[in-house]
Structure 1
Amino acid sequence: MSLYPNDPQHIEAIVSAVVTEDESLISYGIPLPNTDQPGYSNIYRNKYSPDKLLETIHPSLDTFAATFKHSVAAHGDKLCFGSLDPSTNTYQYETYKQIDNRRKNFAAGMFYVLKNNKFQPSPEVQQKIQNHGKTDEESFIVSLFSHNRKEWCITDVACSTYSILNTALYDTLGPKTSEYILSTTKSPIIVCSGDKLRSLIDLKLTYPTELVNLTTLVSMDDFDSSLIGEGEKAGLAVHAFHQVEIFGKINPVDEVPPTPQTPYSISFTSGTTGANPKGVILSHKNGVASLVFCLTKNNSRYNQDKIGDNPTNYYSFLPLAHIYERMNINFALLRGFKIGFPSTTNPANFLTDVQVIKPHGLLLVPRVLTKIESTLKSQTIHNSEKPVLQYLFKKLVDYKVKEQSKHDGARGESFFYDKLSGLIRKKLGFDNVISIGCGSAPISPDTIKFLKAILSVGISQGYGLTESFAGICSTPSFDSNPGSCGPPSVTCEVRVREIPEMNYHINDEGGPRGELQLRGPQIFSGYYKNAEETAKALDKDGWFSTGDVAKIDELGRIHIIDRVKNFFKLAQGEYISPEKIENIYLSCFPLLSQIFVHGDSLQTYLVAIVGIEPESIKGWIKKNFGDSVNDKDILDYMNNPKVKTVFVKAMNKSVDPLLHGFEKVHNVLFDFEPLKLSDDVITPTMKVKRPIAKRFFSKQLEALYEEGSLIRSEKL
């Protein structure tokens, strides 16, 4: 007889009560006494569970396969995945039971088309396909390549319940990096959206030897039948997704349940150096631990706001190719949420989709929130054309910011102002939204304060990496002093390694500073076929060195302040940490949406490429120069040296207490979005690829130095 009853409703009650409704219980980190070593701080854990790190929600839910099967048992008749039906302009959903049936058929169908393919991969890969589940041999690898949609997730769940390892490609990688991933993993099959078929056939034709193992393409969409013949010329069998499901229904295959140690996915990270990406091996154990993190952060919010047993809507907006959204979607599945996918591949349709799906929670990145901020400010506190509205919203924001800063958890409730906030939320489609999570890049505390105030919605800032299966810390949703990333979660312990050469020490005023190191069940086991990089990242005691420089404050909360390797020397001998400088400017000067700081060993000062938002900058121009400027003229106006000088002085004044004079920028070039994924100057998580960005902007940077310092005569 089991000590742990496995009745779905019993387990569901446990899942719903991972923590109490009091979010403050998990909002602090504490140092463990006597755990410091020379050069290292004490180890910090979450105050909620200082004696142990939590790994699972319930002993029976130890893999993603188990969590999904639980969801089917507990929520089978609830709506699961939905997509837009263009003919009716409404979202059509399938239930958890229907999705469960489809993933069984699709998994069996994949085995059928791989085993009965006239194009054969290498004997090594074919043996893995033939013997899957019969031996302990490592799984073959399924590749996914599409925007967010239900077929992506059906494939992912099919893989996890049959112990098939998968990986993902994405557009910003480019064909050469896609070839590298496919050849390294020896992936025999790609499940893709229809618009990728032609490029994948061309990729196989371009690299026939390197991609000898790639034999099968499965299209999530209907496609021109001529592509079947084109695929055959390249040695590829091309199938439709629904066709593979039919094959599987006729030829069922027994499931192959994974263990916690079974690899779940290889997530390739696009690093900041421009080198080939590293494949992070993530196990089911890592993934389940990430769900514990999500539950401790989210249950209190949903319980507190009394959603209870009502349907909870989720919008899967961030790319599923990245681990952040993989964590989010598995959490949504565990909780039985109703999950809607984007109506198009264009992220500009975000608000259009939100207005239909009406999500209760949103997981976003800073660039989305800053665009919302810019739009709302132009319509409210900067709306000089409607002075009454402008006055009311200024009063609302001032009141809310003041009240919400009094203590953690303070919402600043006001009957009148809450009604006013409700009108804004309804206009955006945020009627149901009770919390917003933000991660992947720094965000200005002022942006968080403004959005929390005007929307009357909690916003959490978090931190995590691919190697930690996304989030390992997150702030309280109503943080009184935004700026940190919150305490370590109940699944992870942290410490910092001091870096004397960068002037970061464990006894620094305000808390220990140094390279952040992580350990716990969320942390990856190594990089795929890359022992050298694995040895650099993981030490013998299991500590993962993140490469991020952090400060841990008196509340045990983590502040990311720099990168370990990102520093260079100016002509006068001063060392510069550009990422630290960029983060401080973005935090202190909300008019900046992007910034790339550059210095040269032959120069004595810094210059920068900066991004601005049209709506926000028009208000600044009006305030400082009294001019009204059209969108098409903004960049010419702002790049005038006289205007730039005023702007740079304001930038530098905002960071006065935090940066030395030699760390401040002397000249800038403006653009609306200078740092684009399509130009390969940033990673998908918005980190600057410095060597590539330096080359890409070489002419602009040279021109800035030729123009000279705008503020050389100023005392910095």
Structure 2
Amino acid sequence: MPIPAVLPVPYPPNANRNKQSVEVPGTKKPGQTAAFPFVSLSSPDAFVNVVELFDSGRQRVDGKHPMLGWRPVVSQNPLKYADHYEWLSWDTVDMRRRQVGSALHKLFADGVVGGGPLRTVGIYSGNCPAWQVVDLATHAYEIVSVTLYDTLGKDTVGNINHTEMSVIFVANHHVASVLKLSSKIPTLKMIIAMDQLPTESKTILTAWGEQVGIKVTDIVELEEIGKANLREPIYPSSDAVITICYTSGTTGNPKGVVMTHGNLANAVHAQMYGIDITELPVSIAFLPLAHCYGRMIELSIIGRGGSIGYWSGDPLRLLEDMQILKPNMMPAVPRILNRIYQAGMAAAELPGVKGALFRHALSVKLDRLHNTGVSTHAIWDRIVFKKVQAVLGGNVQLVSTGSAPMSPAAIDFLKVALASEVVEGKAIRAEGVTYYTTDFMHGPLSQGAIFLVWVFGLHTYTDFSIIRYGSTENIGTATRVWFNDVASAGTVGAPQVNTELKLVDVPAMGYTSEDKPHPRGEICIRGDHCFAQYYKDEANTKATIDEDGWQHSGDVGLIDESGRLKIIDRVKNIMKLSQGEYVALERVESLYSACPVVAQLYVHGDSLQSYLLGLVIPDPVQLAAIASRVWGTHVSDKDTVALDRAIQDPKVYGAILDALNKQARLVGLQGFETIKRIHLSNELLTVENGCMTPTLKLKRKDVYSKFKKELDALYALPEPSSKAVKL
């Protein structure tokens, strides 16, 4: 099989940033268009299955090169991790994936497991080397992995039964939990612990399994079966199913996205375009591998022969993990970067010399960015941000992020804070014209660049950042901002090299492909990376993919004069107020969330009402500062009793309302888009309380249900004044 000789693929130096996508001649038709992506499964040197990605990486490094690493536990009570990483080499991972894959192949062939329409194998665990070993094994032996979020608990039942799963790999601490659910998962025949089970625990769990008709074993025993029955890896066709990956379920039950080897291989191949870092990647892995974004990032590293160090699983230890690992790559999500922006804005308001110095440094760098496109500064990068480098280990060159758009102000702040580029992308749909990327731009990396994380005095370091956006349905691959594109703030960039894009009219919202000066509409994408079906869900499949294979995203965008996309609205999660105005709730939340006082925000609307409500969870540091100022005495952000009293104080919530109103004016929200009444709470919205998905997106229906009493009470009050008020 062909293996691309040069990875990653840099942009050509003569790429024209003023023409980042072009209309395909003759494709403009009512309701549909047609075009062809730049990189497809039939392109020269294209990966056509994911097994080739592994081969590509292995051929680029010595077999003893470290591949998958972890920090060993040296004490359970108290919990303590080693101050170093231990590693599985590329040769060891290759051997283990063959053993695991061969064992699974034999179990299915002998009828020990199986029975459903697909040979599905579940993975129910947090990130760890064994997770990746198991997934690589399924790739190489035509087995379909079904990824389950580590936080699902009893909700795993639905996904197990939906895919008629007969065997599941689980974290050791989940074995008993799954056995408790045995009566509800009749297809399950085998549980395999991801790590070796202690002898006493294995004896108890095995006996329990025998009582409920489920065999319990561990990965060590499974690998012995594989070692005795070794088979060579299989290279599946591009249309062979590789995995079923569930959506986050923000608007209802999660849907099982059926991905093929071709889908995943094409998406990963496209992500390797436009990266100009030639050294072998070393990445920290903390984004959940159950989500396609985390898997896509790790496969991109594997395809280049890189090393992946898994975090210890504790957010409080993430920085410690990175300081020990010293990665040169860090995947992130916009929620993290938005928090950095909020904290930076808070730092700019600090009193005294520190605040003044920060404001001046930020102003100088923003002016330079806007006038010249240069994000570095020899003096201020050294004086203001000199403590940055050590926090993330000192070697980070690339921060990659995706899943949602960011505000222009946040993007510009991050460009100068990172002393580098912030590149954003998003998957979208609309009617009229198809666009695809035809030119690419190569920009030199910033040397000694700085990524300021102005959160509680912490700092970090990096060279540049790629902000991506995509969805599970397109493997997180749709559009991306070009490096060194000064005018890109507020846009989500041009289509990636494998992506076709078109805009579709949305008459009810007044968007059309004929709008001037820029065509507008709902965004559709198509390409070899886009999925073809939801598993056993024909209705939702037809609602998402049209007869020409276009994936409808529900986002509304425009295409600017340089061929970049800008997200301007949302078809889904919009509602109409009683006076007839349409409001995109997620957009309003995104714009308000840049306010430093906001830790979390949920915007609620009712079509029988003329205004919006807000549920605000204040940032504890900001809330403590406001309370201290109002009460004239110091309040600690750790004093939960005082913070709970603060949100009941009219003067405190008045200050919070003032901050929200200031933010609304700053971002240009129209009157009907502003929040008129709010409810304050110090209870975070979490996965555990059912208000967020495992990918940290709001579950709107569940948030409303939880706070229904408080929000309905706000609507029961008389019509509000122009200023927001609180019950």
**Could you say which residue in structure 1 is the equivalent of 2:322?**
354
CA contact (8 A) 2:248 2:693 kept: yes
Judging changes above 3 Å, is the alpha-carbon distance between structure 1 residues 502 and 358 closer, same or farther for their aligned structure 2 residues?
same
- 1:361 Cα deviation (Å)? 2.0
Structure 1 residue 393 and structure 2 residue 358: aligned? yes
- 1:491 shift after superposition: 0.5
Equivalent-residue separation in structure 2 for 1:577 and 1:104 (angstroms): 49
Deviations along 1:455-509, one digit per CA (max 9) or x if unpaired, are: 4243332210000011211223555343322211111011121212123232345
The alpha carbon displacement at 1:21 in A equals 6.3
What's the CA shift for 1:629? 3.3
Q: Which residue does the alignment assign to 1:447?
A: 410
| Corresponding residue for residue 618 of structure 2 | 612
Q: Which amino acid aligns with 1:363?
A: P
Question: Of 235, 238, 256, which aligns to 2:213?
Answer: 235
Residue 636 and residue 487 in structure 1: after superposition, are their counterparts in 2 closer, same or farther (change >3 A)? Answer: farther
The one-letter code sitting in structure 1 at the alignment partner of 2:7 is V
Amino acid at match of 1:562: D
Query: Who is 1:329 aligned against?
Result: 298
AA aligned to 1:279 is G
- Corresponding residue to 2:125 among 127, 146, 149: 146
Q: Displacement of 1:80 after TM fit?
A: 0.7
Distance in 2 between residues matched to 1:623 and 1:30, nearest whole Å? 54
State the match for 1:679 in structure 2.
Answer: 689
Q: Distance in 1 between matches of 2:467 and 2:176?
A: 40
Structure 2 distance, partners of 1:51, 1:492, is 6
2:67 maps to 80
In structure 2, the residue matched to 1:63 is: 49
Query: How is 1:374-389 mapped onto 2 (pairs within 5 angstroms)?
Result: 381-384=348-351, 387-389=352-354
Question: 1:69: Cα distance to partner?
Answer: 1.4
Report SS of the residue matched to 2:494: coil
Distance in structure 2 (CA, Å) of the matches to 1:436 and 1:265: 27
TM-score if structure 2 supplies the norm length?
Answer: 0.84
In the other structure, the counterpart of 1:599 is 605
Q: Does 1:698 align with 2:661?
A: no
Task: State whether residues 260 and 284 of structure 1, in contact with CA within 8 Å, keep that contact through their aligned partners in structure 2.
Answer: yes
Larger mean CA deviation between 439-448 and 318-327 belongs to 439-448
Alignment equivalent of 1:473, drawn from 460, 475, 479? 479
The answer to whether the Cα contact below 8 Å between 1:645 and 1:710 also exists between their aligned partners in 2 is: no
- What whole-Å deviation, never above 9, does each CA across 1:659-696 have from its counterpart, x for those lacking one? 33222111112345643222323333444333222212
Shift in Å at residue 295 of structure 1? 0.9
Q: 1:18: Cα distance to partner?
A: 5.3
* Residue 260 of structure 1: aligned partner: 238
Structure 1 residues 392, 660: CA separation in 2 closer, same or farther (over 3 Å shift)?
closer
Distance 1:694 1:534, change over 3 A: same
**In the aligned structure 2, how far is the partner of 1:33 from the partner of 1:684?**
43
Structure 1 residue 464 corresponds to structure 2 residue 439: no
Alpha-carbon separation, structure 2, partners of 1:655 and 1:61: 47
Match of 1:170 in 2: 149
Structure 1 residue 540 displacement after superposition: 1.5
Give the residue type in structure 2 aligned to 1:690: R
User: What is residue 130 of structure 1 aligned with on the other side?
Assistant: none
1:289 aligns with 2:266: yes
Partner of 2:336: 368
Query: How far 1:402 sits from its partner (Å)?
Result: 2.1
Instruction: Say whether 1:636 aligns with 2:619.
Output: no
1:104 aligns with 2:98: yes
Query: Superposed, which structure 2 residues align to 1:11-90 within 5 Å?
Result: 11-12=4-5, 14-17=6-9, 19-20=11-12, 28-38=20-30, 52-55=38-41, 58-59=44-45, 61-75=47-61, 76-87=63-74, 88-90=82-84
> Cα gap change, 1:560/1:260 in structure 2, threshold over 3 Å: closer, same or farther?
same
1:688 aligns with 2:702: no
Q: Is the 8 A contact 2:37 2:498 kept in 1?
A: no
CA distance in 2, matches of 1:619, 1:270: 35
TM-score (norm 1): 0.85
Residues of 1 paired with 2:605 and 2:394: CA distance? 46
Give, in whole Å, the separation in 2 of the partners of 1:60 and 1:575: 44
Alpha-carbon offset, residue 174 of structure 1: 4.2
What letter corresponds to residue 406 of structure 1 in structure 2?
Answer: N
Structure 1 letter corresponding to 2:406 = I
CA distance in structure 2 between the partners assigned to 1:74 and 1:17 by the alignment:
15
Higher mean displacement: 632-641 or 602-611: 632-641
Question: What is the alpha-carbon distance in structure 2 between the residues aligned to residue 673 and residue 448 of structure 1?
Answer: 29
User: What is aligned with 1:489?
Assistant: 496
Residue 412 (structure 1) aligned to one of 375, 393, 401:
375
**1:377-425 per-position Cα deviation (integer Å, ceiling 9, x unaligned):** 66x54554xx444443333222222222335xx3433222232466332
**SS state of the match for residue 228, structure 1?**
helix
Letter in 2 for 1:412: S
Letter in 2 for 1:324: Y
Partner in structure 2 of residue 93 of structure 1: 87
Q: Is the 8 A contact 2:630 2:652 kept in 1?
A: no
Q: 2:657 aligns with which of 636, 648, 651?
A: 648
CA distance in structure 1 between the partners assigned to 2:682 and 2:27 by the alignment: 48
CA 1:141–1:619 in structure 2 vs 1: closer, same or farther (change >3 Å)? same
Q: In structure 1, how many angstroms separate the alpha carbons of the residues matched to 2:124 and 2:310?
A: 15
Structure 2: state its 5+ residue gaps. Answer: 75-81, 421-463
Partners of 2:723 and 2:103 in 1: CA distance: 71
Work out the CA distance in 1 between the residues paired with 2:620 and 2:376: 32
Contact 1:527 1:533 (8 Å CA) reproduced: yes
SS of equivalent to 1:397: helix
Give the distance between the partners of 2:592 and 2:516, measured in 1 at CA.
22
The question of whether the paired residues in 2 share the 8 Å contact of 1:366 and 1:443 is answered with yes
Bigger proportion of residues as helix: 1
Counterpart CA distance in 1 for 2:118 and 2:564 is 39
2:401 maps to: 438
Secondary structure (helix, strand or coil) at the match of 2:243 reads: strand
Assess if the C-alpha contact under 8 Å between 2:37 and 2:527 holds in 1: no
Identity over aligned residues, as a percent?
28
1:494-513 correspondence to structure 2 within 5 Å: 494-509=501-516, 511-513=518-520
**Structure 2 counterpart of 1:670:** 680
Cα separation, partners in 2 of 1:246 and 1:372, compared to 1, 3 Å: farther
Instruction: Answer yes or no: is 1:579 the counterpart of 2:581.
Output: no
* Residue pairs, 1:171-320, within 5 angstroms: 171-175=150-154, 177-204=155-182, 206-207=183-184, 210-223=185-198, 224-225=201-202, 226-275=204-253, 277-297=254-274, 299-300=275-276, 302=277, 308-309=278-279, 311-320=280-289
Q: Residue deviations 1:604-656, cap 9 Å, x none?
A: 32111123323345556678997753223345324533443443344234334
